Amino acid sequence: MCEDVALLNEHHNALMIYLESSMQIVAPNLCQFVGSAIASKLISAAGGIDKLANMPACNVQLLGGQKAVQVGFSLM
């Protein structure tokens, strides 16, 4: 199980590096505004660039906080 988690983490890091490297093509305005690393994490947290584009501005600040609240809780 630990090997699987480590492998998933490596794949996640590889995908984030790829997304950060192509941010100037995907979302040049967002990349200029917040930087490529933050822009790629925003797109990832929102579920895609189209969902981020349609999201109200007041909800963008909530993207990072949702995961921290649910850590350790089961949804049964």
- Domains of the chain by residue range: 2-69
Q: Which amino acid is at 5?
A: V
pLDDT in tens, 39-56: 888 888 888 889 999 999
The answer to whether the CB of 62 falls within 8 A of the CB of 56 is: no
| pLDDT range class, residue 76, cuts 50, 70, 90 | very low
Dihedrals phi, psi of 14, to nearest 5 degrees: -65, -40
Nearest to residue 24, comparing CAs of 10, 39, 43?
39
pTM over 0.85: no
CATH of 2-69 among 3.40.50.2020, 1.10.10.10, 3.30.40.10, 1.10.246.90:
1.10.246.90
